[in-house]
Each structure stands twice: as structure tokens, then as C-alpha cells.
Amino acid sequence: MKMIEVVDLKKHFTLNTSVLNTEITEVKAVNGVSFHIDEGETLGLVGESGSGKTTTGKLILRLLKPTDGKILFEERDINEIKDREFRKIRKDIQVIFQNPYASLDPKMTIEDILTQPLTIHKIVPPLEFKKECVRLLDMVGLSAKDAKKFPHEFSGGQRQRIGIARAIATKPKFIVCDEPVSALDISIQSQILNLMMALKKEFKLSYLFIAHGLNVIKHVSDRVAVMYLGKIVEMGAVEDIYTSPKHPYTKALMSASPIPDPDIKRERIILKDEIPSPIHIPSGCAFHTRCPSCMDICKHKTPELRTENGHSVACHLSLGTVLGDNNVNGDGSC
Ligand code: SF4
């Protein structure tokens, strides 16, 4: 069963770009994204800063209103649901934030932090709050004596455990994980990822796992979607993406992932320039200004996202049509 379905989702922001506010510019942060996440499934959403992945997460959490498109949670469009009713659904859709230092109120004890969602969503009767907090702390590898402490008394990894305990306090079905380990030491990252996977298994959770690198999501995702300038450029089963990436951008991201075996060397693909601003998205294939395989056609024709055997790619190289195009240089000369 589909837990979440995102259909042609768009979020365009408008900016005043002149001193006299006479020029309005559109920023296409999310520009036509579609995917689904099944019950108990993890979709890894990867891309550089500015690719639109965090905005996609915020749209799914209904922290932003989409410009266009639909977000269905258990087949209901969350933007068509009235605020009052959405509050009931809110407990099923939770979030784990990137920064465990900023996401916990420094003035609240851990017990207060965990009691908040229990109170708002009436998860257990007030008399059981203390017992429930201890149960939640135990589930994330902390102890009952931690309940009376404040966030500053914990390490980054422990704070992220508290953030996870808060997310699962409402017994959610789906969690948006917004780069949950990127602020942590490498040695702690795997502990947090293992905890998240154990909780997923125990509670049949679905995750949207947002990350900027492919290495983090490899072990936690069932499928992976790669975003570039507001669009998905490749999506498929995790084994397909890691063993046979098709899009040049995915290949470049893959080449930047460290291999934990000193005997295996991988050629690094260095992309030229930074990711362009979503204010000025390049014509044709948005990746053409950095693509090592760029052809003439890429500059003026946008490749569609096409799916074959569950593996979707938006690249003229992967689309059979390109073979008959006379404008193809194929020499990366864009
Ligand atoms: Fe590169 Fe062209 Fe494919 Fe875009 S469509 S990724 S520019 S080869």
C-alpha cells in the first residue's frame, strides 16, 4: 500500500530582485516531482544543497503550501484537508531534523520535550506520561535518569536519539528524516542509522530519508531518488542505483562517495562549477552546464524522466531517441 504519493509537485517562490520592488523573480525550488513511498519502505532523496530535497520534505510535512501538484497520504490529499482534521493526521507524519543542537529547546528537560507530543496528540493519559517517557528513552538507547536532564548535558549523537524519541512518541506511520546524521561524527552516524533501521522494522515505519551524499543512504534505503535543480533525474531500487547508475549526475555523486576498502580505487568525477541558482535554471537539461557527457541536444531539449524495469532516468543518453539526433556531439563540448 502506498503511504505517500507525490504527484507533479511544484513549489515556486517569488522574490523581489530590485530595490524598488519592481522586478519579481521566480525561484523554482521544486519543479514537477513525482514519487511514492510504500508502507514500511524507505526512499532516499539525494542531491546537493539547492536541489530542492529539503523543500520537498517541508511540503510533505505541510510546512509549506505547494504551488501545484498533490501530496497524498494514505490516498488523501493533505492540502485538501482542513487544519482541524489535519491535526489528527499530523501525529502519523513526523520529522527528524538535521541539527540535534538546534532542534531541542535548551530550556526544557528531556521529559518535558517528550511529554509535549504525548499531550498534544493525547497518546497516553497524563498519569502515564512519566512511564511513557522512560519507555521512549529506553527504545532509543537512553536511560530513565536522562529524563530530568537538559539538552546541553548530552552529546550530539545522544541529542539525535532524543529527537528520534520525540518523533516516535506519537506512534507515527511515516517520518521525514531531514539529513539526520549529517551534523554527527562519522563514528556516531552508523549507530544512529542502525537505531533508525531497528525502529523502522519494529514499527513498520516508512521514511523519506533526505541526504546530500549517496554513501549515507546506501544502507538505509529501499529505493533512491536523485534530485537536481528541483527535479528527479534518476530513481530506482538501491541496488540498481549503486551497481548501474545511468545519469551522469548520479555517477558524479557516486564517485564522491568514499569506499571503505583501501584496495578499491574509484575514479573521481569532478563536476565543473557549483550547482546553478534555481533563479536561473539552465535551458534544456538543467545539468548540461556541468555534465561531462553534454551534447548539443542537451542545451535546448529537456529530457523526460522515463522508466524501464522500475529504473527511471532523465537523460538523453539513456533515451533511445538521442541516437537519431543529428545535433549530438557526444564529446562533452557544451
Ligand atoms: Fe548530460 Fe545531456 Fe544527459 Fe543532461 S541530458 S545529463 S546534459 S548527457
CATH of the domain at 225: 3.40.50.300
CA-based nearest residue to 315, from 290, 289, 282, 293: 293
Residue 116 lies in a domain: no
Residue 328 has pLDDT above 80, yes or no: no
Q: What is the pTM of this model?
A: 0.91
Q: How many domains does the chain have?
A: 1
Q: Across residues 27-37, what is the average pLDDT?
A: 97
According to the model, what pLDDT value does residue 259 have? 66
Q: Which residue's CA is the closest to the ligand 1 atom numbered 7?
A: 288
According to the model, what pLDDT value does residue 298 have? 96
User: Which residues form ligand 1's pocket by a CB distance below 6 Å?
Assistant: 247-248, 285, 287-288, 291, 293-295, 298, 303, 315-317
3-state secondary structure 50-102: CCCHHHHHHHHCCCCCCCEEEEEECCEECCCCCHHHHHHHHCCEEEECCCCCC
According to the model, what pLDDT value does residue 1 have? 87
According to the model, what pLDDT value does residue 327 have? 41
Residue 252 lies in a domain: yes
Q: At what angle do helices 110-120 and 129-139 cross, to 10 degrees?
A: 110
| Residues spanned by the domain of 44 | 2-92+170-313
The alpha carbon of 225 and the centre of ligand 1 are apart by a number of angstroms equal to: 17
Residue that wins the pLDDT comparison between 323 and 184 = 184
Residue 100 lies in a domain: no
Residue 257 has pLDDT above 90, yes or no: no
Residue 216 lies in a domain: yes
Q: What is the pLDDT of residues 191-227, one digit of tens each?
A: 999 999 999 999 999 999 999 888 888 889 999 999 9
Residue 65 lies in a domain: yes
Residue 325 lies in a domain: no
Q: Across residues 310-315, what is the average pLDDT?
A: 96
Q: What is the mean pLDDT of the chain?
A: 91
Q: What is the pLDDT of residues 140-192, one digit of tens each?
A: 999 999 999 999 999 999 999 999 999 999 999 999 999 999 888 888 999 99
Characterize the bridge pairing of strands 174-178 and 206-211. Answer: parallel
According to the model, what pLDDT value does residue 230 have? 97
Residue 82 lies in a domain: yes
Residue 333 lies in a domain: no
Residue that wins the pLDDT comparison between 100 and 170 = 170
Characterize the bridge pairing of strands 311-313 and 231-237. Answer: antiparallel
The alpha carbon of 297 and the centre of ligand 1 are apart by a number of angstroms equal to: 9
Question: What is the distance between the alpha carbons of residues 288 and 324, in angstroms, rounded to a whole number?
Answer: 19
Q: Band the pLDDT of 132: cuts 50, 70, 90.
A: very high
